[in-house]
Chain A
Amino acid sequence: MGSSWDWEVFLRDPGGADPTYWQWMLSCWGWTVSVSLLALVLALVVGTLVGILRTLPDKPWAVRLGTFWVEGFRNIPLLVQIFIWYHVIPALVPAMKSLSSFVLVVLALGFFTSARIAEQVRSGIQTLPRGQRYAGMAMGFTTFQYYRYVLLPMAFRIIIPPLTSEAMNIFKNSSVAFAVSVTELTWFAIQVGEETSRPIEIYMGVTALYVISAFAINRIMAFIEKRTRIPGLVAASGGGH
């Protein structure tokens, strides 16, 4: 195996828009990063809203809606959800026919992950002592205000370790986009591995980029965790991985 490496495959010309395979690979990395970051933003926004819904007092229908959302998105495999977004929804909703597979994958991955983030936001809010909520009410805050100023800032800082895992998962899960031909890293590995007949070298390059991405997110999240640590909590000693 060792005698037959051919790393120069990365210097060859694929005959497309990019002059060499390594430059093409980097542009595919760009698609992986774009899909992941956009989906992460969507997942954080929707996940937070749904998580809040599930903790609202005296709003059984909001809670049920939140539960429905979480169970639905969590119990169907991501690949199936991507196919639903790609094949089914544009057929049912004509307005979505013009959307590119990139947008559809961002929606699929974002909503899929929002269910998981919603669970974490919910548990983060529910871990807080009830006194925090009551203190907010006693101050005369409206529900919106005590969530905004009291509960959410605390809850978010508590759930940073699981959010780190989620951010890393989103990067890994973006690989499923290959199935609807988004030109991200895994698509590149399959396509170019075949095209060049040097799959081992190509897979190694792609795998290295995934590992670098995972490590980078881990470091960024560790930095955020350190900067937002709540003084005086046991959790201040850190956690997660």
Chain B
Amino acid sequence: MSNKLIKFFTITGLTWFVPFVKLCSGENPAHQFRQILQMIGVPLLAFIVFLGLWSVTAARIHTSLGAIPGPSAVWHEAGTLLQDHYTEREKATRFYERQRLSNEQKRASNPDADTRVRSYTGKPTYFDQIFTSLYTVFVGFSIATIVAVPVGILCGMNPVVRTGLNPLIQIFKPVSPLAWLPIVTLVVSALYVSNDDSWFEKAFLTSAITVTLCSLWPTLINTTVGVSSIDSDLVNVGKVLKLNWGTQIRKIILPSALPYIFTGMRLSLGVGWMVLIAAEMLAQNPGLGKFVWDEFQNGSSNSLGRIMVAVFTIGIIGFILDRVMQSLQNAFSFGRQI
């Protein structure tokens, strides 16, 4: 039991809990306590030191929006953002209630009146913005993965394709998202005609495609490397058994290349998350990036605090995404280290 638990925690990256499990199963307590102190005590202490330094230095830097907010001010702003969220939700409830009443009135006077229920017209709250950003990054990242993995496999299996695509990959890989953005915006505006009933907003598509264009490359390159470095014995076995193409990919190539593919995806997601915030900021597309830019434009005395809240939110979400990908990577690498 305890071994299973330990394995689970190791794979999911929650190594903090391993010593606790060992403690419970009665392994050398002194050693485990030292482990706990090392794994939890040290990071905790470092974080406290960081908060202290931040408090002290922030108070001394005066900007035109007042002093840089310290930890307590930022915590307070996080509270007001939460409060705003509830206030807005309450307004939304009343909005739907009013709509229901007016629709009933309309139906009473005219049975075939237009009584669609309209979504709330107020502002998106901070949590809505977080959700929008997450949704956008996953759509962009999914498109990137769907494109990159097959192309990567093709590149890995076929040297001709690989040498053909190589220069293109090398040229496009280092391009900043902000350079893609105007092009993507214009193309989307030209090709995608949206109306009130369409599924996606133009702004959403623009952000998602920008994320795709930037997060494509790590997955593509890693997949190529993974596929091309498969043990030749395995490939030969496939040839001897006269496996057809599909079976080869399914049974031999994918399982061997999976660890590489997941490493690539992990890098891609990190890049995508970083790119998205910048894209939202520049294009004023809904999401956390827009929230930061709007607060900067507002220039009120609590703007800096709110921007700091957003910075921490972006960081923590980025960290969680990375952890999730790392666990997947661990789960699929069958104990091999890349």
Query: Is B a genuine binding partner of A?
Result: no
Q: Please report B residues at the A interface, Cβ cutoff 8 Å.
A: none
Q: Please report A residues at the B interface, Cβ cutoff 8 Å.
A: none
